[in-house]
Structure 1
Amino acid sequence: MNRAGRFAPSPSGELHVGNLRTAILAWLFARSTGRDFLLRVEDLDRARAGAEAEQLRDLAAIGVTWDGAVVRQTDRGAVYGEAIARLTAAGLTYECFCTRREIQEAPSAPHAPQGAYPGTCRNLDPAEVEFRRSNRPAAIRLRAEVAEYTVRDVLHGEFTGVVDDFVLRRNDGVTAYNLAVVVDDAAQGIDQVVRGDDLLSSTPRQAYLSSLLHMPVPEYAHVPLVVNADGARLAKRDGAVTLTDLSREGVAAAAVRDLILQSLGLPRGTLESALSAFRPLDLPREPWVWRRL
């Protein structure tokens, strides 16, 4: 199987400048190392009608190309089910009946982040499980055998993060992100994951899950986000931040691409022309502040 990088947006709406910058970076990382570049639509629970087509249009408009067909997570439920079945057969899952409120209000383990699962349902006896099933559908959680896990990131070096008993399948039957992304990356031969650094904290969970499923752990590169003038993560409420909105203000897609390349210290022009100047370790390490044009 060929080596590959990827971009994996959720089709909840049009991509904004921050999403487009991450897509360009993922493309540059992959192409500069001779990898294929794949596109996966992570549409398990945040899809808006028409958003996928809008996103593909905008990626093409800034010069992002991809290899092969687009993969959609909603087509892969059986594969996720097989992975959960393997973990269950190994004694590495259990049913959880907790509500979000109960998790938030429960005492957490020392040094665990807010919202980390405290293990409430981990050791329920069979009779209690049967009783709770009659009142509420169960989520499936991983029975983690470690409290933390260390990954290596191209830009951040070694990073150690908490691993709790995270959800593999929600109680509405939807596969959770952490499981789907691990299974999909392995199935597609993706050995390089470039994404926003807001996802760095979840990476130890994913790498640990990869090890349990005997799947390879990708090379990670978590890149700085784009933020607004107040330092908050860029969002559509920050004004003209999508290609559609910017075009209404007279800013062409090529100009947006050039601004993104300039923010990375790369020459303006096509993405292919930026490849020769691309050096991952020379990338800016601070968030890029997007100011209204």
Structure 2
Amino acid sequence: MTVRTRFAPSPTGYLHVGGARTALFNYLYARKHGGRFVLRVEDTDLERSTAESVNAILEGMTWLGLDYDEGPLFQTERFERYNAVIDELLAKGLAYRCDCPKERLEDLRERQMAQRLKPRYDGHCRPKEVGPDQPHVVRFRNPTDGVVVVNDLIRGRIAFSNAELDDLIIRRSDGAPTYNLSVVVDDLDMGITHVIRGDDHLNNTPRQINILRALGHEPPSYAHVPMILGDDGARLSKRHGAVSVIAFREAGFLPEALLNYLVRLGWSHGDQEIFSIQEMIELFDIGEVNKAASSFNTEKLAWLNQHYIQHGDPKRIAQLLSPQIGRLGIDPSTGPDLATVVEAQAARAKTLVELAEISTFFYRDFDVYDEGAAKKHLRPVAREGLARLRTAFELMAYEDWTPEALGRVCEGVASELGVNLGKVAQPLRVAVVGRAASPGIDITLHLVGKDATLRRIDKALDYIDRRTAQD
């Protein structure tokens, strides 16, 4: 048997991180077992499905690197097939037409709820003959006795009494097939062997199994993945911040960091925290996924993201960083090589957005100093050191503007003044960077360049002079 899994999102919005985790689990299971991973777009909700949402899903899958072997396959292109199956069920007496008016169904529901009964259709039209030309829906004739057993790969054995399942609608009055029927036919036709999906679909599973068996087929294996919660214990939603895959990309997260974080939401392999995609494929076991819901922790994701920024290929990180720099109105080609900036700054940022923001000083002058840094370091006592540094820097040839040479100049000035290097380097750093934090002063000066360094020291000297005059 060839393992075949599927990810089947509805294109009614963005690709949620919960959906991304489901896609990842399906992808890993298929890859581990030498199987096929299918992308199916369940777009039968014609009112809410949009082309923009389809594009957002495909864009998210591509960014994450979750390559599918087949698809995207669209349900709207298969209505003829669904209706053929519904007609087959009608012909065999396994489905029936129902013409119950909306008012009757609403009254039935109200009476059942008043009696604290589970709202369900009462089979009123089961014995009736409703003509095909009358307004009607088609309902599946669900078995009235026995149980449906789901041997869930995550949750274990779950039994559902057929007496608790009503005759669900499989074709609406407008002729459109419903979700539960479409899913069954798709999984059957596409040879899906393992259905890995969110546990919000668990109640649909016994209904789908009954339809499958009515069609003469045994069901696939099921694994229902617990939901993802926010830090407050509520289901993860927009109010918790970024929840769409593309929003995380725009916020400066790397796809490998998000995948690594998602695979650890509900699954673990000892104490290991960092997983390459190949390690995920080799180690992931759907049977080891926790039954309980997992809480999304953005700080943990940020920690992972910093790891991947720091340890990733600087050239690749630079490619991903470039658009973030561009959003700040900076053309990175006008300054130091972006990969070199990444090497210098990677340990200082948790996201690409943050990395871009703390790296702007390499490419353009800043308008104001960090108030605390300037107050502490740009004092009259620092003026002589800055002036001596400026003189020494001006005498340096452009080709000699190297980290090694710049480091020697700073050490020489500190020695002349009889102070430790920090007394010279910190005022210089604030003068050149605008704040008290940056990479080593030699690397910082090298990347900023000679002209900008001299210009910014002049600005700092003027700042000190004005501060002295005010005192």
Q: Given the two structures, how large is their TM-score scaled by the length of structure 1?
A: 0.88
Based on CA coordinates, which of the two structures has the bigger radius of gyration? Answer: 2
**Counterpart residue number, 1:279:** 285
**Partner SS for 1:198:** helix
How many Å apart are 1:106 and its aligned residue? Answer: 4.5
How many Å apart are 1:32 and its aligned residue? Answer: 1.9
Cα distance in 1 for partners of 2:232, 2:123 equals 37
What is the aligned residue count? 284
Cα distance in 2 for partners of 1:171, 1:106 equals 24
The RMSD of aligned alpha carbons is 2.4
Which segment is superposed worse, 51-60 or 272-281?
272-281
Contact 1:98 / 1:121 at 8 angstroms: preserved in 2? no
**Counterpart residue number, 1:64:** 66
Cα distance in 2 for partners of 1:149, 1:203 equals 9
**Counterpart AA for 1:141:** R
**Identical amino acids, percent of aligned pairs:** 35
**Counterpart AA for 1:29:** Y
Contact 2:5 / 2:26 at 8 angstroms: preserved in 1? yes
Highest RCO, 1 vs 2 (Cα 8 Å, sep ≥ 6) = 1
Q: Which 4+ runs in 1 deviate beyond 4 A?
A: none
**Counterpart residue number, 1:260:** 262
**Counterpart AA for 1:107:** Q
**Counterpart residue number, 1:73:** 75
How many Å apart are 1:2 and its aligned residue? Answer: 4.3
Cα distance in 1 for partners of 2:111, 2:123 equals 10
Cα distance in 2 for partners of 1:57, 1:268 equals 25
In structure 2, relative to structure 1, the CA distance for the partners of 1:3 and 1:260 (3 Å cut) is closer
Contact 1:227 / 1:289 at 8 angstroms: preserved in 2? yes
**Partner SS for 1:52:** helix
**Counterpart residue number, 1:145:** 143
**Counterpart residue number, 1:217:** 219
More strand by share: 1
Contact 1:95 / 1:141 at 8 angstroms: preserved in 2? yes
- Post-superposition Cα deviations, 1:84-123, rounded to whole Å, max 9, x if no partner, equal 1111111122222342634522438x997x3322223323
Q: How does 1:76-115 map to 2 (within 5 A)?
A: 76-96=78-98, 97-99=100-102, 101-107=106-112, 114-115=118-119
Q: How does 1:32-71 map to 2 (within 5 A)?
A: 32-45=32-45, 46-71=48-73
Q: How does 1:138-287 map to 2 (within 5 A)?
A: 138-147=136-145, 148-161=147-160, 162-263=164-265, 264-265=267-268, 267-287=273-293
Contact 1:63 / 1:271 at 8 angstroms: preserved in 2? no
**Counterpart residue number, 1:9:** 9
Cα distance in 2 for partners of 1:272, 1:61 equals 17
In structure 2, relative to structure 1, the CA distance for the partners of 1:261 and 1:268 (3 Å cut) is farther
Gaps of 5+ in 2: 300-471
Contact 1:139 / 1:170 at 8 angstroms: preserved in 2? yes
Cα distance in 2 for partners of 1:102, 1:77 equals 32
Contact 2:16 / 2:245 at 8 angstroms: preserved in 1? yes
Cα distance in 2 for partners of 1:271, 1:224 equals 22
More helix by share: 2
Gaps of 5+ in 1: none
